[in-house]
Amino acid sequence: MSVLVVTGTGTEVGKTVVTAAVAALARAEGRRVAVVKPAQTGVGPGEAGDVDEVVRLAPGVTAVEVVRYPEPLAPATASVRCGAEPLDVRRVAGAVRELERDHDLVLVEGAGGLLVRLNPQGRTLADVAVALSAPVLVVARPDLGTLNATALTAEALRARGLVPAGVVVGAWPERPDLATRCNLTDLPTMGAGDLVGAVPEGSGRSAAREFAEVARRSLAPALGGVWDAGRARNGG
């Protein structure tokens, strides 16, 4: 796998921290890693965006932000409101292919969920994944309601012939309630692949060295870590 698309079941689910965790483990293996953000919204000129956060948590990663829009809106709406040229899926795919030449892994982090529109023509992160023939890692919430959102995301992936790379819980709470604990069993049955990690809530506040260990303990062997879903379900 040289390209991995990372999407969420919605906004604020922990995509950036999960992307950073995958990057940190790949870097620990000596792999050359790049992260691409097709559209960064809600960030002004000179302010740090999601790719900057990935670099802070996983030093040594190459960061590319394709376009930036200042208002915190869906990219299609944000581009129209600021009068910017719409984002073309081919431009994103071209940036990724260029990075593939001298990187072992390129991570593509979406904005919001899989079908959030990137441009007024209705293109989405799913179209980017199709253009790249890349597997898609789904980052989900831990709590009540996450099963439906994950199932809908999985259905959208399958409808486009995309391969799910599994589900990661983006912000696992310190004190999970009953529904949250049960979701560890139910999430793998939603069609988006195996449960391949649960990153503790607040992990993004860690320093890089501490975060590398958090990533190792929070992601499954499929992503380079040691996290075990069965042990987690039993409270381990």
- Residue-wise pLDDT for 105-140, tens only, equals 999 999 999 999 999 999 999 999 999 999 999 999
Amino acid at 11: T
Distance CA 108, CA 105 (A): 10
CB 105 within 8 A of CB 4: yes
Q: What is residue 236's predicted lDDT score, i.e. its pLDDT?
A: 64
Q: Are strands 105-113 and 62-69 parallel, antiparallel or unpaired?
A: unpaired
Q: What is residue 229's predicted lDDT score, i.e. its pLDDT?
A: 87
Burial class (CB in 10 A: 0-12, 13-18, 19+), 168: buried
Q: Distance between alpha carbon 87 and the CA centroid of its chain, in Å? A: 19
Q: What is residue 57's predicted lDDT score, i.e. its pLDDT?
A: 98
Distance CA 108, CA 125 (A): 9
Instruction: State the CATH number of the domain containing residue 57.
Output: 3.40.50.300
Number of domains in the chain: 1
CB 95 within 8 A of CB 66: yes
Bridge partners (DSSP) listed for residue 63: 35
Whether 15 is catalytic is no
Segments of the chain scoring below 50 in pLDDT:
none
pTM: 0.95
pLDDT in tens, 51-82: 999 999 999 999 999 999 999 999 999 999 99
Token pair 């992601």 is at which residue?
A: 219
Give Cα separations from 23 to 34, 54, 56, 118, 164 (angstroms): 8, 8, 11, 24, 18
- DSSP character string of 30-92: T--EEEEEEEEES--TTS--HHHHHHHHSTT-EEEEEEEESSSS-HHHHHHHHTPPPPPHHHH
Range of the domain at 74: 3-233
Q: Which of 27, 37, 103, 123 is catalytic?
A: 37
